[in-house]
Structure 1
Amino acid sequence: MNLLFSNDRRGEYPASLYAATAPALPPFAPLEGTARADVVVVGGGYTGLSAALHLAEEGVDVALVEAHRVGFGASGRNGGQLGSGQRQDQLTLEKMLGDARAKILWDLGEDAKALVKDLCARHAIDCALKPGVAWAATSQGSAEWMRRYAEHMGTRYGYAIEGMDAAQFADVCPSPAYLGGMLDRGAAHLHPLKLALGLARAASGAGARIYENTPVKEIVEGPRVRVRTEAGEIEADHLILATGGYLGSLNEQVAARVMPINNFIVATEPLGDAAREVLAQDVAVADDLFVVNYFRLSEDGRLLFGGGESYGYRFPADIRATVRKPLSRIFPHLSDTALPYAWGGTLAITMKRLPHLARLGPNVVSASGYSGHGVGNAVQAGRLLAEAVRGQSDGFDTFASLPAPAFPGGRALRSPLLALAMTWFSLRDRLGL
């Protein structure tokens, strides 16, 4: 079974609020016959589009192939949070890598946010970019940890995060489930599909050739790489692999270290004045549970709420019911509210929850595994891949040097083993352990 076609209609965006509110981008024609390029990019999400844009702006002949539509995958379906740093917090990174390397990763995270903001400004990408992401604590111990973390970030990194007790956090998010938290006003939130489509317009305008509805069947490595598709083939000097959770069997080295998981989002009707009972400030929120709940308000005042995960190929039969459970725990007064939009998406995680950038051969590079932190990481990774193809990239080398263990059990057993682990952590979340 192929994740590319397990849950979606070919060549169509999912029936999400994002697809319903993003200005349509005319389809790019599929590849037919043979073509040549300096660089071929496989994957039309943030990573691939950013790589194609940055290469085209440098005058490189670049071709991008996408199995469905640009922004079809996680790039067009995610929670829209442009977070600071990396997926792992700085205290964890300091213990894992040491202070100096942790600081380099923090600076790269800051650069990722700046890059997204710069691209939006430079290419007039209107994706409702707004400041503010809050972390919510579900226990007193977690609230105290967040207070200390905010102090640490100010002292060690000179970065302002507001630590909050329960009363202060209620002024941001009046949910009875949360006992404090912190607010990062340097982070941001946005409309993810509008960002992806904006990057596609910019890349195409800069000269990149984009082929949609062009699934890749085989990659043949060599002095010149050949990417074979359903109806054609592209030969290129370099290959950029930017497939995220939809890699399939295209590269076993990456597949051993990057695993697809599914996540789900719903959107309510516009809440009107009642939106303040959900979020009193227009910021995004993510909580401290192992299976994270995350939410924000749409431009028209709907609650966009993400929660629940699965590890097989198929989405649940009733996504609304899956997400309504955590939604009802966080906002009991919305337990029976209508959910006109519900959709799932596939993202990619790594064992260490850090991006996996790798040089797979003399002329093949890859980036994926952003582990839920991909809005900034993926756009930045695209630029780093473009730099690596053209010569040298310190940022690429930094990420490529990070620990990237393979998942236990191989491809056959990694999903069941992870499901067992996630079930245990979900139980811990419910018991407040």
Structure 2
Amino acid sequence: MTSQETWQSPIAPGISWYQATVGERPTYPALDGSTTCDVAIVGGGYTGLQAAYNLAKAGVSVVLIEGSHFGDGASGRNGGQLGTGQRAWPEELEETIGYERSKALFNLAEAAKRHLLDFATEHQIEIDFMPGQMNVSHKESYTKSYQENAEIAALRYDYPHVRFMDRQETQERLGSKRYFCGVRDTGTGHIHPLKLLVGLARVAANAGARIYEMTKATAIHQANGKVTIDTPRGRIVADKALIACNGYIDNLEPVTASHVMPIRSFIGATVPLGDHPKVLAGGEAVADSRFVVRYFRKSRDGRLLFGGREAYTSDNPRDITQHIRRQIAEIYPELKDIEITHAWGASVGITLPRQPFVREVMPSVISIGGYSGHGVMLSNYCGKLYAETVLGKTADLELFKSLNVPAFPGGAAMRAPLLFLALSWYALRDKF
């Protein structure tokens, strides 16, 4: 995911807990001069690197450019939760696209989950996988829908790993009295996202993909059957191109920019919780029912990794630790004075219906993004599906292409202010 900015934390400038624990990251050269290839890829996050790897191993000539260092975008700085299915619950998707398409998308997401875990195992990438996830409700009125979700997952979607938790069980498993009920999913888990990203870049390079970092795409055009991508120190000419910038699209390509908007999401990492054994005693990750989702989990060394505060612009607040600590204290009052050792953020690409954006934005140029906070496994798999589409192996990417993902209203000038107003309204509703 292409980024030209670095999050500056007052505690650990530019360093997330992920970066502090991944070890020394390999560096890759910047593009210096012009080149040609079969497929050019803009964006070195999960989507772009998976596409590059799968194309290169099949003998396709691939050039990938990333505007920052690999891992500095959302792929290396996210919450690390895999989830299950799509961003919306399958019964919600049924209401708009019908059962058959909803089931197909659910099955695709399960394939994405298996692919990610198998990929890490096959290539010996230690991603710190920890099993289990809980989705919990901050409103008592949601109890019935949570009960139904567990039943529908088992009976209609052949997924028996989700089970309803009543209030008592939810509070016991969380070690908190803040939530009213939930579902526990034993068929998924959470990972160290930067370890996956670093390993993926290595695997793509070893497969023969030419990957470059600190190389920003400044323009992209299509003419005479060729795609041209301009950079500050060279030009790439290709037969096809993939735009995989997600929330870092900026002004590179207007169709994508009108459909995928960035919001800033922030995470804090505490010191290890040795004195608080009841907090997430089972080690599951958690996401709650707020529109502005709060998501948290424990690391392997027992730290609480807590995300939740969002900003609806590309800017960074000066100090987010007080906001993160306040949200932690709402759920775990005993942690109100916990030391936060690292705080960081990233731009999450969202779409209006919270469904992935996959579209041919100009001849021979596909853009993929807008995972809306559900991208760890979907982005990896979409990169693989793009490669298989180019190779003529599968048409599964058409499931996403066929989704109705409208542009954000307001045009280029008013799009961001309207998004700010709308999301601020929903955030206000979370409080009442």
TM superposition score normalised by structure 2: 0.96
User: Aligned residue for 1:126?
Assistant: 126
User: Aligned residue for 1:351?
Assistant: 352
Alpha-carbon offset, residue 25 of structure 1 = 2.7
1:16-60 residue CA offsets vs partner (Å, 9 max, x unmatched): 000000122321010001111111110000000110011111111
Matched, 1:264 2:245: no
User: Aligned residue for 1:99?
Assistant: 99
Aligned residue identity for 1:51:
A
User: Aligned residue for 1:198?
Assistant: 199
Aligned residue identity for 1:247:
I
User: Aligned residue for 1:340?
Assistant: 341
Q: Distance in 2 between matches of 1:317 and 1:411?
A: 27
Matched, 1:234 2:236: yes
1:77-112 residue CA offsets vs partner (Å, 9 max, x unmatched): 100000110001111100010011101111111011
Aligned residue identity for 2:57:
E
Secondary structure at the aligned position of 1:176 is classed as coil
Maintained 8 Å contact 1:56/1:203:
yes
User: Aligned residue for 1:4?
Assistant: 4
Aligned residue identity for 1:290:
F
Q: Distance in 2 between matches of 1:124 and 1:50?
A: 16
**More deviation, 327-336/415-424:** 415-424
Q: Distance in 2 between matches of 1:38 and 1:250?
A: 21
Aligned residue identity for 2:187:
G
Maintained 8 Å contact 1:18/1:77:
yes
User: Aligned residue for 1:18?
Assistant: 18
Matched, 1:364 2:360: no
Maintained 8 Å contact 1:6/1:313:
no
Q: Distance in 1 between matches of 2:87 and 2:27?
A: 33
Q: Distance in 2 between matches of 1:313 and 1:65?
A: 21
Maintained 8 Å contact 2:129/2:192:
yes
Q: Distance in 2 between matches of 1:93 and 1:287?
A: 19
Maintained 8 Å contact 1:363/1:389:
no
User: Aligned residue for 2:285?
Assistant: 284
Maintained 8 Å contact 1:3/1:313:
no
User: Aligned residue for 1:40?
Assistant: 40
Residue segments in structure 1 that go unaligned for 5+ positions in a row: none
User: Aligned residue for 1:321?
Assistant: 322
Maintained 8 Å contact 2:7/2:13:
no
Aligned residue identity for 1:114:
R
Alpha-carbon offset, residue 392 of structure 1 = 6.0
Residue 366 and residue 8 in structure 1: after superposition, are their counterparts in 2 closer, same or farther (change >3 A)? Answer: farther
User: Aligned residue for 1:331?
Assistant: 332
Maintained 8 Å contact 2:218/2:231:
yes
Q: Distance in 2 between matches of 1:368 and 1:392?
A: 21
User: Aligned residue for 2:188?
Assistant: 187
Residue 366 and residue 392 in structure 1: after superposition, are their counterparts in 2 closer, same or farther (change >3 A)? Answer: farther
Maintained 8 Å contact 2:7/2:14:
no
Q: Distance in 1 between matches of 2:87 and 2:4?
A: 25
Q: Distance in 2 between matches of 1:170 and 1:309?
A: 25
**Count of residues in correspondence between the two structures:** 427
Matched, 1:88 2:88: yes
Q: Distance in 1 between matches of 2:33 and 2:13?
A: 26
User: Aligned residue for 2:140?
Assistant: 140
**More deviation, 367-376/390-399:** 390-399
Aligned residue identity for 1:292:
V
Aligned residue identity for 1:421:
A
Q: CA RMSD in A?
A: 1.7
Residue segments in structure 2 that go unaligned for 5+ positions in a row: none
Q: Distance in 1 between matches of 2:73 and 2:323?
A: 20
Alpha-carbon offset, residue 230 of structure 1 = 1.1
Alpha-carbon offset, residue 259 of structure 1 = 0.5
User: Aligned residue for 1:420?
Assistant: 421
Aligned residue identity for 1:412:
A
Q: Distance in 2 between matches of 1:371 and 1:341?
A: 24
Matched, 1:149 2:149: yes
Q: Distance in 1 between matches of 2:240 and 2:175?
A: 51
Q: Distance in 2 between matches of 1:368 and 1:70?
A: 17
The percent identity for this pair of structures is 44
Alpha-carbon offset, residue 188 of structure 1 = 1.3
1:354-391 residue CA offsets vs partner (Å, 9 max, x unmatched): 00011223311110000000001100110111122223
TM superposition score normalised by structure 1: 0.95
User: Aligned residue for 1:254?
Assistant: 256
Q: Distance in 1 between matches of 2:289 and 2:314?
A: 26
Matched, 1:27 2:27: yes
1:319-351 residue CA offsets vs partner (Å, 9 max, x unmatched): 112222222211111111111100111010000
Q: Which contiguous aligned blocks of 4+ residues in structure 1 show a shift greater than 4 angstroms?
A: 6-9
Maintained 8 Å contact 2:6/2:72:
no
**What does 1:51-70 align with in structure 2 at a 5 Å threshold?**
51-70=51-70
Q: Distance in 1 between matches of 2:13 and 2:360?
A: 31
Alpha-carbon offset, residue 273 of structure 1 = 4.4
Residue 332 and residue 25 in structure 1: after superposition, are their counterparts in 2 closer, same or farther (change >3 A)? Answer: same
